Structure 1
Amino acid sequence: MTTASQLAAASGLLSLMLFVVGMAVIALLAGGFWMGSRIKTRESPRPRPEEQPHLPPEGAVHEIRENREPEEVPRTPKGGRPLTPYQLTNMQTRASSSKTRPRWSKGSSGSFGGGGLGAH
């Protein structure tokens, strides 16, 4: 055999293997679509328009913007024992009398450990 016939034989085998791999990929994709369609037919149907949620009769609910401030933490009497977390209970908030929104101070990043340079 000559060198050209040896290269042609190997090339033909390589082409056959690529064709087989390609057909396997196509078969896997087709099987995936087939399985997806079977699963979709078993799902419950989509809700009809009359089954969709509707606005309440009084209309859309609007948000309320207000500033909240926390209740004061109870003070420990002089010489008394410090309060433990379970004695503090749930700290509630109340509406603030101030209508101005709190802003971060100049040069602050706005949060602890924010990592930014802050306002310049």
Structure 2
Amino acid sequence: MFAAFVGGLVIVGALVWAVRFGTKVRRREPGPPRREEQPTLPESGPVHETRQRREPDEVPRAANESERLTPHDLHASGSKPSENQQRPRWDEGAGGSFGSGGPGRS
């Protein structure tokens, strides 16, 4: 019984110490930025999202079988801008996604 009481006091003491330590650390941290320190929009206005259709970029082939491709031989991205930038439209009456309720294949 006595050991449980002492154990409880130790736990309570540790919790009190942790709260005090946390408040000391918090006081040393800088406060939140003031209104004039907040980021502002650039003079050109907000930046807008751009949309573009992309198509896969072909992986270059080695000149002969003994030559290896190294990372700098490959392109930075796996895709390139498509020549046709028109958005594809779904066929009328087609759902366009899995589980759209269409008859599907039988």
Segments of 5+ residues of structure 1 without an aligned counterpart are 1-13, 102-118
Q: 2-side partners of 1:90 and 1:73: how far apart? A: 8
Query: Shift in Å at residue 64 of structure 1?
Result: 0.9
Residue deviations 1:17-69, cap 9 Å, x none?
Answer: 32222211111000000111111122223211111111223332111111112
* SS of the residue 2:10 aligns to: helix
Higher relative contact order (CA 8 A, sep 6+): 2
Segments of 5+ residues of structure 2 without an aligned counterpart are 90-97, 100-106
Which residue identity lines up with residue 74 of structure 2 in the other structure? T
Could you state the TM-score of these two structures normalised by the residue count of structure 1?
Answer: 0.55
Q: 1-side partners of 2:22 and 2:46: how far apart? A: 39
How many correspondences in the alignment? 86
Q: 1-side partners of 2:47 and 2:9: how far apart? A: 57
Of the candidates 77, 88, 97, which is equivalent to residue 73 of structure 2?
A: 88
User: What is the percentage of aligned positions where both structures have the same residue?
Assistant: 34
1:99 equivalent in alignment to 2:87: yes
Q: CA RMSD in A?
A: 2.7
* SS of the residue 1:85 aligns to: coil
Structure with higher helix content: 1
Q: 2-side partners of 1:71 and 1:40: how far apart? A: 52
- Cα gap change, 1:67/1:30 in structure 2, threshold over 3 Å: closer, same or farther? same
Could you state the TM-score of these two structures normalised by the residue count of structure 2?
Answer: 0.61
Within a 5 Å distance, the mapping from 1:1-120 to structure 2 comes to 14=1, 16-74=2-60, 81-82=64-65, 84-86=68-70, 88-91=73-76, 93-96=79-82, 97=84, 98-100=86-88, 119=98
Q: 2-side partners of 1:26 and 1:73: how far apart? A: 65
Which has the greater radius of gyration?
A: 1
Query: Shift in Å at residue 74 of structure 1?
Result: 4.3
